């Protein structure tokens, strides 16, 4: 498309016309202190800011917004900062995932309802990336995603601490009696030393890297630590680029296609990224009418090696990754595993954006022939327990458990798990298969990150550190262990997980991609006839909307009415 003119700007419909409503719009711009020379005929760029004091990962985003504003003004645009929901992973309950779709709805409507020609989206903490992008994809205005960047490495008595991963590790040591309360408090002091998202290759680092791979960020933006001055310089560059992208009308639908999503899956595997990426990529692709069957993840996982030596699958943290060349260096090292001809927000292709980039530390970003492991380490399972699929990140599990048969020990819901897991009389051995149900999109609700079920204390005392665990929820990207996740359909809607009884034998076969409940079809039919769904506890508000419309994990857990469909008409300006 050729460059648009000032009169073709979307915002011109609000401000530029000679009619009553435009008078109202212009007079209120003057009320805010803006004369015609500030905004008339200029791209009006929203800075959608998910800053909040409740979200420590985003606490620097006011500064980031100021830098974006500077870039927009430099390029002749008019910035308008707009606050949006901040779904902080730590404090938001029942889980930030419950509110991802709310953020997506808000983003879509804020972009559609206001006189904006484009927007820079500020996020980074786990669900903010997919939430902001899902909404932007649906409204299809030009956007750039500006990630908040990872926080600095954690530190405890000279040991490097990684977000999440070291919490799980040291919590188990504390429960096993190997760590004092004072030492635990010292870890609390040192694990989150400044602004930015979790600095392991958890969900946040994964999703921001995938947003960049999709072509939606300034090149290199996702790897820059939050406190590095390059973050603010890149934010200003995003502001300048955004003005240009409005004139050029570079919209998500023209940038992101099926090849971009396949690239994103490949990068997820090369990074050893979070299993959560699967749910979010399916949901984001769904907004653009692109289908990503789970088998596509499995297929790409089998041929893409794990190249980033980052926790939890590897050794290093995001600061090391940045110094080693960051995402652009990894993309370069991936060679023909990626389609390089895909467009990006810079107006250049992905391949052109990374030209000249190189790996600066091969201990952190391995070459393909020295990869940490030959495949991406994420498998999609099928079987009578998960007819619509389940996921395991076997790269982060004890290899001895990749093939396992054991008796089920069932927890009906998370409160049941919490109440009994450390009971000295719990009938559990290292061979048991722990099952958590009613933890899926509808059951929990919101599919929380409960999937790394704790190892029972009595087994921890015996030295057990991993065992097979099944659930219909997710787990943090910073977690590890032989945890089968995202079982679909979930138990709360009558999936087979609802029919498992204590002592049933469950077989996990990762190489064979199989999860099987060794109970006859006849017996399962009898159990199904007896099964009753739990009565809903949600009769009003967003929670009611959520449980009535959320889809299953293999469909991205988006709302059924938000998935791709006919475009919503532009608002009339009456």
Handedness of CA 361, 363, 366, 367 (dihedral sign): positive
Q: Which of 89, 140, 449, 555 forms a contact with ligand FES (CB under 6 A)?
A: 89
Q: How far is the CB of 148 from ligand FES (least distance, A)?
A: 9
C-alpha to C-alpha distance for 230 and 522, rounded to whole angstroms? 63
Closest residue by Cα to residue 471 from 394, 560, 409: 409
C-alpha to C-alpha distance for 68 and 65, rounded to whole angstroms? 5
Q: Is 126 in the site for ligand FES (CB under 6 A)?
A: yes
- Residue among 187 and 517 whose Cβ is closer to ligand FES: 187
- Residue among 10 and 127 whose Cβ is closer to ligand FES: 127
- Residue among 128 and 353 whose Cβ is closer to ligand FES: 128
CA distances from 265 to 137, 214, 258, 378, 552 (A): 18, 10, 11, 11, 20
Choices 78-86, 194-202, 347-355, 544-552 (CB under 6 A): range interacting with ligand FES: 194-202
- Residue among 204 and 243 whose Cβ is closer to ligand FES: 204
Find residue 81's DSSP bridge partners.
Answer: 47
C-alpha to C-alpha distance for 269 and 104, rounded to whole angstroms? 26
- Residue among 89 and 140 whose Cβ is closer to ligand FES: 89
User: Which positions from 136 to 175 touch ligand FES by CB under 6 A, shown as an x/- string?
Assistant: ---------------------------x------------
Q: Which of 4, 63, 82, 90 forms a contact with ligand FES (CB under 6 A)?
A: 90
Burial 31-58 (b: 16+ CB within 10 A, else e): eeeeeeeebbbbbbbbbbbbbbeebbbb
- What tokens does 395 get? 């790269």
Q: Enumerate residues 424-443 that contact ligand FES by CB under 6 A.
A: none
Residue 321 DSSP class: H
Q: How far is the CB of 514 from ligand FES (least distance, A)?
A: 32
C-alpha to C-alpha distance for 262 and 287, rounded to whole angstroms? 16
Interface size with ligand FES, residues (CB under 6 A): 10
Q: Is 125 in the site for ligand FES (CB under 6 A)?
A: yes
- What tokens does 374 get? 């030959």
- Residue among 123 and 325 whose Cβ is closer to ligand FES: 123
Q: How far is the CB of 348 from ligand FES (least distance, A)?
A: 29
Backbone angles phi, psi at 187, to 5 degrees: -65, -40
Choices 98-106, 197-205, 379-387, 418-426 (CB under 6 A): range interacting with ligand FES: 197-205
DSSP track, 236-274 = HHHHHHHHHHHHHT--HHHH--HHHHHHHHHHHHHHT--
Q: Is 57 in the site for ligand FES (CB under 6 A)?
A: yes
C-alpha to C-alpha distance for 95 and 98, rounded to whole angstroms? 5
Helix pair 326-334, 203-213: axis angle to 10 deg: 60
DSSP track, 452-498 = SPPPPHHHHHTT-----EEESS---TT--SSEEE--SS-GGGT-GGG
- Residue among 160 and 545 whose Cβ is closer to ligand FES: 160
Q: Is 72 in the site for ligand FES (CB under 6 A)?
A: no
Q: How far is the CB of 128 from ligand FES (least distance, A)?
A: 8
- Residue among 198 and 460 whose Cβ is closer to ligand FES: 198
Q: Which of 13, 197, 251, 340 forms a contact with ligand FES (CB under 6 A)?
A: 197
Closest residue by Cα to residue 61 from 134, 129, 146, 176: 146
3-state secondary structure of 563: coil
User: Which positions from 387 to 416 touch ligand FES by CB under 6 A, shown as an x/- string?
Assistant: ------------------------------
Q: Is 449 in the site for ligand FES (CB under 6 A)?
A: no
- Residue among 41 and 83 whose Cβ is closer to ligand FES: 83
Q: Enumerate binding residues for ligand FES (CB under 6 A).
A: 57, 89-90, 125-126, 163, 197-198, 202, 204
């Amino acid at each position: 498309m050729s460059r648009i003119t000032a009169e073709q700007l979307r915002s011109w419909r609000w401000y530029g016309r000679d009619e009553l409503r435009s008078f109202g719009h212009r007079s209120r711009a003057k009320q805010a202190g803006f004369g015609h020379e500030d905004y008339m005929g200029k791209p009006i760029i929203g800075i959608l800011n998910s800053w909040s004091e409740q979200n420590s990962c985003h606490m620097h985003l006011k500064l980031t917004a100021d830098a974006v504003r500077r870039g927009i003004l430099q390029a002749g645009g008019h910035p308008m900062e707009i606050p949006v929901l901040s779904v902080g992973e730590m404090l938001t309950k029942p889980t930030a995932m419950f509110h991802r779709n709310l953020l997506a709805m808000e983003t879509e409507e804020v972009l559609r309802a206001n006189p904006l020609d484009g927007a820079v989206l500020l996020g980074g903490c786990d669900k903010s990336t997919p939430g902001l992008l899902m909404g932007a994809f649906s409204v299809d205005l030009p956007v750039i995603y500006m990630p908040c960047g990872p926080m600095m490495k954690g530190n405890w008595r000279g040991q490097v601490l990684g977000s999440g991963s070291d919490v799980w590790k040291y919590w188990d040591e504390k429960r096993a009696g190997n760590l004092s309360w004072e030492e635990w408090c010292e870890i609390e002091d040192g694990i989150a030393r400044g602004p930015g998202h979790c600095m392991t290759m958890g969900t946040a680092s994964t999703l921001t890297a995938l947003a960049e791979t999709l072509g939606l960020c300034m090149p290199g933006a996702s790897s820059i630590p939050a406190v590095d001055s390059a973050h603010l310089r890149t934010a200003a560059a995003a502001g300048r680029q955004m003005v240009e992208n409005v004139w050029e009308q570079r919209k998500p639908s023209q940038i992101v296609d099926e090849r971009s999503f396949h690239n994103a899956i490949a990068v997820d595997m090369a990074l050893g990224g979070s299993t959560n990426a699967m749910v979010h990529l399916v949901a984001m692709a769904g907004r653009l009418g692109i289908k990503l069957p789970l088998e596509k993840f499995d297929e790409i996982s089998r041929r893409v090696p794990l190249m980033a030596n980052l926790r939890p699958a590897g050794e290093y943290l995001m600061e090391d990754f940045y110094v080693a060349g960051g995402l652009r260096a990894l993309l370069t090292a991936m060679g023909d595993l990626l389609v390089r001809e895909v467009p990006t927000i810079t107006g250049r292709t992905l391949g052109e954006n990374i030209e000249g980039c190189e790996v600066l530390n091969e201990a952190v970003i391995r070459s393909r022939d020295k990869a940490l492991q030959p495949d991406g380490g994420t498998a999609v399972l099928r079987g009578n327990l998960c007819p619509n699929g389940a996921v395991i990140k076997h790269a982060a599990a004890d290899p001895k458990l990749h093939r396992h048969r054991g008796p089920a020990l069932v927890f009906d819901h998370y409160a049941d798990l919490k109440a009994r897991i450390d009971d000295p009389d719990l009938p559990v051995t290292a061979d048991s298969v722990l099952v958590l149900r009613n933890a899926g999109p509808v059951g929990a609700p919101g599919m929380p990150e409960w999937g790394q079920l704790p190892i029972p204390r009595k087994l921890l005392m015996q030295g057990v550190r991993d065992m097979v665990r099944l659930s219909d929820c997710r787990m943090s990207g910073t977690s590890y262990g032989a945890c089968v996740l995202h079982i679909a359909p979930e138990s709360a809607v009558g999936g087979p997980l609802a029919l498992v009884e204590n002592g049933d034998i469950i077989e996990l076969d990762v190489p064979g991609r199989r999860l099987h409940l060794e109970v006859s079809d006849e017996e399962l039919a009898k159990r199904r006839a007896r099964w009753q769904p739990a009565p809903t506890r949600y009769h009003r508000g967003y929670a009611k909307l959520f449980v009535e419309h959320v889809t299953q994990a293999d469909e991205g857990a988006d709302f059924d009415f938000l998935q791709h469909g006919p475009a919503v008409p532009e608002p009339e300006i009456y």
